[in-house]
Copies of this chain bind each other. A is one copy, B any other.
Amino acid sequence: MTMTTNDPRPDPIAQARDWLSDLFAPWVQALRLAPVAVGPDAVVLRLPFDESLCRVGGTLCGQALMSAADTAMVIAISAQLGEFRPMTTVSLTTSFMRPIAQGDALITARVIKPGRTLTFGEIEIASASDGKLAVHATTTYAML
């Protein structure tokens, strides 16, 4: 990332893009998650629809949606902290409410209770085409 201004605070979108390419496994990067909005309380990532992510039946596979949820939460926590700090997922509970077919997914991750040792978050995944909520997840992270 090249910053051409003197602004000491990096562009949050660019920073999230850097985190996405630096912190995650290449297999996770193959999801091509892209930041749409990045703020201190919530971030929104886009998961581009791709045939390689579809299970039999043609809908986005649950594995990709769970992985996107976990990834988005790391970005949300980092964005709130203003930097990436080592952390590990303690638990992630995902509910699958509707399939997403033929369209991108929008992943919104929110820190609902930051903590020095444990941070709690919530993730919603909606279909970008109709806005309907498809997946809801809650998660706990241990800050290392």
Taking beta carbons and an 8 Å cutoff, which residues of A are in contact with B?
22-28, 30-31, 50-57, 61-64, 66-67, 70-71, 86, 88-99, 112-113, 117-118, 120, 122, 133, 136, 138, 140, 142
Contacts and interface: CB of A to CB of B under 8 A. Distances in A.
Copies in the complex: 4
A51 B122 CA distance: 29
What is the interface of chain A mostly: helix, strand, loop, or mixed? mixed
Contacts of A97: 112-113, 120
A31 B25 CA distance: 12
Contact of A55 (B25, B31, B113, B120): B25
A88 B71 CA distance: 22
Nearest to A93: B93
A84 to B, nearest CB: 9
Given A91-B95, A118-B142, A53 B27 contact: yes
Most B CB atoms within 10 A — which of A30, A61, A99?
A61
A92 B64 contact: no
